[in-house]
Structure 1
Amino acid sequence: MKRKEKHDLWKKRMEAYEASGETIQEWVSKHDDITEYQFHYWRKKIKAEINSGPNNEVNHTWTSFDVPTFTTTSIEVRLDDLSVYIPENVSEEHLSRVLRVLRNG
């Protein structure tokens, strides 16, 4: 089968799947010559082609957000294979609760 024929076949298969309302597993199980691996490969390939087509304009929107600043000074508490990094400005009350949980956990 030529590349174009194979592509067209899989495009029709994807359309049939979409129209079926079935899950991927259900749809593939009814087609002995199709594996889930093939299905996912071709579905990704066809979607990528659709999304990068010449008539598909991408509209980028920028947004802004505040990024919290982190202190570089911290305390590291190790308990067996667990490490907890505690920032310098943590309250004693909060630190006490964390340590209590670690001891009782």
Structure 2
Amino acid sequence: MTQAELREVWSTRINDYRASGERVATWCERHQVTPRQLWYWMRKLKGEDEQK
């Protein structure tokens, strides 16, 4: 998976998490990712959005 594809996957996941209204732990367990991964990508993509 390329870096651009990975960013797109996580962007979709973050949008899904935000729309779900679930707690981080609940959403992450359901989607088989760790809360640490979710927070990492939220920070990473937020930083990229601010640079654009």
Residue in 2 that maps onto 1:84: none
Larger Rg: 1
Which of the two has greater strand per residue?
A: 1
Which of the two has greater helix per residue?
A: 2
Residue in 2 that maps onto 1:39: 38
1:20-39 aligned at under 5 Å gives the runs: 20-32=20-32, 34-39=33-38
CA RMSD of aligned residues (A): 0.9
1:55-104 CA-to-partner distances (Å, cap 9, x unmatched) read xxxxxxxxxxxxxxxxxxxxxxxxxxxxxxxxxxxxxxxxxxxxxxxxxx
How does the TM-score come out when normalised to structure 2? Answer: 0.88
How does the TM-score come out when normalised to structure 1? Answer: 0.47
Unpaired segments of 5 or more residues in structure 1? 54-105
Larger RCO (CA within 8 A; separation ≥ 6)? 2
| Number of corresponding residues | 52
